[in-house]
């Protein structure tokens, strides 16, 4: 073989290897993300918190794996996971929509819970029901999309009261299989009418809506709270957002100079919920110099144990991760916002 041909084949091989290396594969790489100061994400009446000390919101970095980047699984604190374990049955676009909504929802809940815990009131405007899932066996599967906002159901609009929600739930419970359900939906800012027949749930004998959703609302308060998410998405910052807001509107001085990290969703009753990737969030907290870590002490139901026999609470997971890392960061289990407040008061 001539030198020119040999050189050509070498170059061709290099090009092919380069192309193959960047081909996406159905896996994602998870690694420690950031540990940001929550006070940089929000203002109260246009003013940032200047109290000494830090409350940190934690993230996990997720990237689409390629043939080349899959080698990162051998790096410290990196993990390769099948796409379905992270995205579930959602497309990447649907997953991103859900994460963005979850962040908006977490912010609204944080404001409401912080103010109510402080004995203050808020006002809310319900936009509708954000569609979080569409059953593939439902008649709505080709019409309704994740991210749609349902404004009315059979002409009934969800208002800003618990009674309105109960009335809507009672109405839906009264419907029979075969009923044609009319949904006024907003998609990409444009209204759209969707009408489809309800099926029967063979297990319960009652109707099956064929989709799930969560209330989408805007919450306003006095003093006003403004958010700048800095590209962070998902619901796991709920606890830390709530603590920061509560601390500022009550002048509780909970930080006291401490570097405090934490994670967990926040529910309207003040419960702290389970999140993913807590072992990687611990690494991010340690790298940011945090000395205190608040971890969800979430409830494990019998159904969850049956489905995942080896499941642990977030607190158990992070304690196990801390032992492996040999860190002396103080880890506290929290079930509710009030527990977290009491922990910080006693630091």
Please list the active-site residues.
236, 281
The full 3-state SS of 128-186, as one line of letters, equals EEEEEEECCCCCCCCCCCCCCEEEEECCEECCCCHHHHHHHHHHHHHCCCCCEEEEEEE
Strand partners, 81: 28
173 token code pair: 């419970």
Element (H, E) at 330: strand 330-334
Strand partners, 75: none
> Based on C-alpha coordinates, what's the Rg of the chain?
24
- How far CA 56 is from CA of 38, 53, 294, 338, in Å, comes to 5, 10, 10, 18
Nearest CA to 99 among 291, 235, 253, 274? Answer: 235
Residue 81 · residue 28 · CB < 8 Å: yes
Query: Burial level of 86, CB count in 10 A (0-12/13-18/19+)?
Result: middle
Using CA atoms, how far apart are residues 107 and 344, in angstroms rounded to an integer?
A: 21
Strand partners, 27: 82
184 token code pair: 């006024």
């Amino acid at each position: 073989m001539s030198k020119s041909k040999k050189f050509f084949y070498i170059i061709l091989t290099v090009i092919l290897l380069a192309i193959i290396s960047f081909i996406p594969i159905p896996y994602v790489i998870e690694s420690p993300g950031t540990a940001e100061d929550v006070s940089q994400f929000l203002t109260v009446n246009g003013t940032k918190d200047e109290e000494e000390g830090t409350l940190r919101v934690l993230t996990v970095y997720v990237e689409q794996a390629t043939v080349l980047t899959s080698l990162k699984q051998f790096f410290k604190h990196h993990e390769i996971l099948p796409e379905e374990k992270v995205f579930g049955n959602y497309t990447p676009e649907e997953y991103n929509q859900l994460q963005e909504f979850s962040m908006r929802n977490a912010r609204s809940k944080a404001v409401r819970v912080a103010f109510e815990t402080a004995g203050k009131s808020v006002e809310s405007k319900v936009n509708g029901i954000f569609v979080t899932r569409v059953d593939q066996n439902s008649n709505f599967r080709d019409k309704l999309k994740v991210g749609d906002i349902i404004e009315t159901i059979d002409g009934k609009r969800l208002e800003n009261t618990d009674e309105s929600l109960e009335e809507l739930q009672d109405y839906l419970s009264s419907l029979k299989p075969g009923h044609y359900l009319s949904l006024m939906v907003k998609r990409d800012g444009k209204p759209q009418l969707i009408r489809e027949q309800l099926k029967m749930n063979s297990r319960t004998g009652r109707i099956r809506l064929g989709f799930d959703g969560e209330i989408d609302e805007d919450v306003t308060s006095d003093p006003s709270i403004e958010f700048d998410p800095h590209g962070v998405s998902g619901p796991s910052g709920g606890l830390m957002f709530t603590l920061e807001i509560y601390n500022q509107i009550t002048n509780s001085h909970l930080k006291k100079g401490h570097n405090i990290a934490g994670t967990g969703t926040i529910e309207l009753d003040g419960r702290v919920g389970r999140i993913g990737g807590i072992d990687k969030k611990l690494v991010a907290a340690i790298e940011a110099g945090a000395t205190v870590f608040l971890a969800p002490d979430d409830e494990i139901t019998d159904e969850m144990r049956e489905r995942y026999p080896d499941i642990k609470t977030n607190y158990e997971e992070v304690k196990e991760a801390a032992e492996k890392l040999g860190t002396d960061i103080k880890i506290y289990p929290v079930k509710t916002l009030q527990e977290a407040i009491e922990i910080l008061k006693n630091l």
